Every structure is written in C-alpha cells, then in structure tokens.
Amino acid sequence: MPAPTRLLDLNLDLIARAHAVPVADDPSALAVLSDAELRPGLEDIIAGRDGRDLWVFAYGSLMWNPEFPVAERRIGTVRGFHRRFCLLQRRFRGTPERPGFVLALDRGGLCRGVAFRLPGMEIREALMPVWRREMRGRGYVARWLPVATEAGPVSALTFLANRASDRYAGRLSDAEIAEKIAAACGHKGPSAEYLFRTVEACERLGIRDRHLWNLQALVAARLRSCVLV
C-alpha cells in the first residue's frame, strides 16, 4: 500500500497566482523533429527490443499523464540512473529568457518509478506517441533497461538525459534549479506545475524522492515571495 501522502508546500493555487499572465508559444525557441525525422530512431530502438511484452518506464510526467493505452502498471526500480531536473526547457514550460526544467535520468544511483505495459498492438503504432513526445526535442536518448518489480524484472523503454544536447544543464544545486523552475512559464504552463504534479504522483504512489521533495519546498518559498511583493 502507498505510504500516507504528506502535505505539499507547493500547490496549484500558488502557482496560478505567481504565473497569472499567459505566455504565447514561440516555435523558434525549440525546433522539434517531425515524425519522418523520428522514425529512423524508432526503428533502431524496436530492432534492439528485448522481451515479448512492451514496457515503458515512467519517472516524470509520464507517471501522471502517460497519453498511451496501459494494460498493466507496476512500481519498479531502475539501477544505475537517478531522477533529476537536468534538462532545460526553453519552450512549452519555459522561454529562452526564462528556461524551466524537466526531468531526465542521469548517471548514478537508482530511480523508483512506474513500469507501464502497453496492450498488444502493432509496436510502431504503440510506441510512436511516447516516442514523439519524449524524443522530438532532442533532450533524451532511449534505452531498454531492466526494471525490478515485485512481480519480477521487465525490460522497459527508458528515456535518459542526452548529455550531448545543449539542453543538458549538468548537476546544478537544488537552489539553482528551484530558481529557474519558479520563474519559468511557457505556453503549456508553468515549470512549477510540472514539478508539483510529479511530486504529487510520487507521493500518491508511495515513491520517496528527496530531490523532488526539497525542490517543491524551495519553489514554493520563491513563489510566495513573488506573490507577496
């Protein structure tokens, strides 16, 4: 059973008050890949698939908004990588002047998240929505990684930080990351909302992540100071 949910310092009302002015989309801030440009990479990852069932490992927004059919979900652990806000977001939830952050898996440690099994369907049709969502911005590299679950290990498609991308920010302090998240908003909404929904999902699932929990408190404090000015 998931552990009891703790009270978050960060909340949607605070985020909305701090970012009340809508932000227009700026396609020039991040040129995204077309489906035609994405297909060769998808074919490569399909060719390296290990196992019969099709699994995707979620550790960020895919946990609370998978946008693909789900036949089964399991809490699971990936070893060798940890969840971290290390990818700059200059579009969608940020701007070039005030970039936000999104999560990626970076080297070292471990990460608890959710392994989703997709229903039996044509593999390209099943994977293209998540492939498009995660890979069009050139911020990730994809790998099949073993995920340990209570019902046994599975091989899951997992999206890791692309350290060669200009979006990769390296290992900043939580205070530096919180400063950017608190200030950033794009046409898809504030960067702080992405953080809030991810922490909320982890708490609901009983996943403890000190990095996320510390960030939400730091971001909440910065947003309150903005609202009170």
In what helix (H) or strand (E) does residue 191 lie, and over which residues does it extend?
A: helix 191-205
- Spatial neighbors of 141 by CB under 8 A, at least 6 apart, are 159, 160, 161, 162
Amino acid identity of residue 189, one-letter, is: G
**CA geometry: angle at 2 spanning 65 and 148, to 5°?**
75
Alpha carbons 67 and 206: distance in angstroms, whole number = 22
134 annotated active-site: yes
Q: Measured between alpha carbons, how far is residue 65 from residues 59, 114, 133 in Å?
A: 11, 12, 11
Alpha carbons 182 and 209: distance in angstroms, whole number = 19
Distance of CA 118 to the CA centre of its chain: 19
Residue keyed to tokens 């530096």 = 176
- Spatial neighbors of 54 by CB under 8 A, at least 6 apart, are 117, 118, 123, 126, 127, 157
Alpha carbons 73 and 60: distance in angstroms, whole number = 15
Active-site pick, 43, 97, 125, 134: 134
Alpha carbons 38 and 1: distance in angstroms, whole number = 39
Cite the active site residues: 134
